[in-house]
Chains A and B, each alone.
Chain A
């Protein structure tokens, strides 16, 4: 088994020098955050060479996208970044809506943005919390998990599901917000603000944490751009790119928020950038929740948005639309579109090629993880084995997003 692995990956084709050891981290390993493998060549405790092997959770979403209708593909996007599901849903739906050139009511956009930002907080809690756990600081994660649970409960009330939310529909939301939505979100913000401060002080005042993260696994801004980094990992390297500012979608040009920027792209800076992003997200949510408009939760377009079920049984028009939408799907006009949104890990792009059929001719997902994770061998070369765990953890690799 060991020999076979050695032959399989290129770094074993050359004979291992005396005293070197080949370690398989993964495919399923407590510190690999999903099913992916790292083959690491060690000299003592120092990493000489590394190689990443992915593809263990590949589910052919792009192929399925060529068969499913536009609304059906939404459930596939749920399973990409399963830590912040609504962000994927919203990215896909925005791309389809842009192709159909439909405008949704303000309320829909507001709710989508609130849920986006709460998901970003959720994702960053996981990333930073688990980084702490990997380095031996367990309590930080526990403190924040209570608040993450609160966000999950809001999502559950809003969509009926916790993990696979399937939140949006083309033309609006799956269902209207529930009456206490505003109050619940305000409670979350109120609880999260001090908790984030506490969490950060737990980490940065910890000598062990600082020693193990400062200057570890760093990347220069130039390399980060060359590798196609995006999101917090790119900003930690000192590049202030954020699609919410550079190419605003939804109402991101109308809210106030700052973009945190790090310096050397190390584990510490990635962590701190995420910390600050959580605060900025809460700032956005606060601005939005105070001005939440009232009105319908979908655009008035019966040929695109599924009609109310109670009307389907009584009215002929609604019955026809219902039948057409279920059987034939939405016909998106011929054309191509690339829609990039700022997901928790970085630029999540949906590239759709439509030939005017009920399902796209080609769907491509630009996953942020896929682009920055390929630099992993370069980041860990020369560091210690324990640092590889910290590096990978702080990059926030989500296997579902990596393989798609």
Chain B
């Protein structure tokens, strides 16, 4: 499977392959440029012999201090017709870069993309509604970034806005 996709990509989309890096993983992984994600996934969805027609997972990794560019958005696709074939595509991004949304190909990308935006701050261009999904709308920062402290920045502003209880003042008094 890996060879089929590799030759397919090299044949049709050589300008979208960003790098070839071997990583220790159980999934065949391909690195793509941000602008290539939509045409490549769209072509692979129906390409005979490959048919990656199921978006299995969409997430991101923050490699702060380990790799540059800092973020990687991971798309895990599965071919439903050949049992259990899973392939991962990755897009490496700098902090302010955007990646195109793939809602036009997979409807199910809607919430996962919003979740990645919410927790990592990676924006998806062309998404109909790039809002926070899980955290409250007035939340500051993106919690799954490595530079976001585990305890949070202090959530006075949240408590204040949502419950109008001034926790800190109470404790000081």
Closest B residue to A362 using CB positions: B61
Within 8 A of A (CB), among B54-100: 54-57, 59, 61-62, 66, 74, 76, 80, 83-84, 86, 88
Nearest Cβ distance between residue B23 and chain A, in whole angstroms? 6
Give every chain B residue within 8 A of A334 (Cβ-Cβ).
24
Residues A227 and B83 in contact, CB atoms below 8 Å apart: no
Knowing A223-B107, A347-B56, say if A338 contacts B80 (CB, 8 Å). no
**In the complex the two chains form, what is the Cα distance from A55 to B88 in whole Å?**
27
- List A residues 220-259 near B (Cβ within 8 Å): 223, 225-229, 239, 241, 243, 245-247
Complex Cα distance, B28 from A338, in Å, reads: 11
CA distance A225 to B61 in the complex (A): 25
Cβ-neighbour of A225 out of B53, B119, B144, B150 (below 8 A): B53
- Chain A's closest residue to B131 (CB) is A10
CB pair B59 A351 closer than 8 Å: yes
Known contacts A63-B150, A247-B83; A98 and B26 CB within 8 A of each other? yes
In the complex, residue of chain B having the shortest beta-carbon distance to the beta carbon of A67? B150
Residues from chain B with Cβ under 8 Å of A241 in the complex: 80
B76 to chain A, nearest CB (A): 6
List B residues 85-125 near A (Cβ within 8 Å): 86, 88, 106-108, 110-112, 115, 119
Q: Decide: A228 and B133 in contact? CB cutoff 8 A.
A: no
| Assembly CA distance A255 to B172 (angstroms) | 63
Q: Is the CB of B80 within 8 A of A366?
A: no
**Any chain A CB within 8 A of the CB of B134?**
yes
- Say yes or no for A162: interface residue by CB 8 A criterion: no
B164 within 8 A of A: no
Residues of B within 8 A of A336 (CB): 23-27
Interface size class of B (residues with CB under 8 A): 35 or more
**Interface contact B25-A337, CB-CB below 8 Å:** yes
**Closest Cβ of chain A: how far from B159's Cβ, in Å?**
15
State the majority secondary structure of interface residues on A.
mixed
Chain B residue at minimum C-beta to C-beta distance from A246: B83
Inter-chain contact B56/A228, CB cutoff 8 Å: yes
* A374 contacts B by Cβ under 8 Å: yes
Contact present for B24 and A335 (CB under 8 Å): yes
Shortest distance between the CB of A349 and any CB in chain B (Å): 6
Within residues 1 to 49 of chain B, which ones have a CB less than 8 A from any CB in chain A?
A: 23-27
Q: In the complex the two chains form, what is the Cα distance from A55 to B134 in whole Å? A: 4
Number of A-B contacts (CB under 8 A): 97
Residues of A within 8 A of B115 (CB): 370
Q: Given the complex, which residues of A lie within 8 Å of B74, measured CB to CB?
A: 351
Q: Does A387 contact B (CB under 8 A)?
A: no
A54 within 8 A of B: yes
Q: Does B167 contact A (CB under 8 A)?
A: no
Note all chain B residues with C-beta closer than 8 A to A276.
none
* A213 and B24 alpha carbons, distance in the complex (Å): 48
Known: A63-B143, A349-B57. A338 touches B108 (CB 8 A): no
| CB of A353 to closest CB in B, whole Å | 6
Residue-by-residue, is A356-387 near B (CB-CB < 8 Å gives 1, otherwise 0)?
Answer: 00000110101000110011000000000000
Out of A60, A98, A247, name the residue touching B84 (CB < 8 Å). A247
Q: What are 23 A-B pairs with beta-carbon distances under 8 A?
A: A58-B134, A62-B119, A62-B144, A63-B143, A63-B144, A64-B150, A98-B26, A228-B55, A228-B108, A335-B25, A336-B26, A337-B26, A338-B76, A338-B86, A338-B88, A349-B56, A349-B76, A351-B59, A362-B62, A371-B108, A374-B108, A375-B107, A403-B134
Interface set of A (CB-CB < 8 Å, partner B): 8, 10, 54-55, 58, 60, 62-64, 67, 98, 223, 225-229, 239, 241, 243, 245-247, 333-338, 340, 347, 349, 351, 353, 355, 361-362, 364, 366, 370-371, 374-375, 403
13 more A-B residue pairs beyond the given contacts A98-B26, A336-B27, with a C-beta to C-beta distance below 8 A: A60-B143, A63-B144, A228-B54, A229-B108, A247-B83, A247-B84, A335-B25, A336-B25, A337-B26, A338-B27, A338-B86, A364-B57, A370-B111
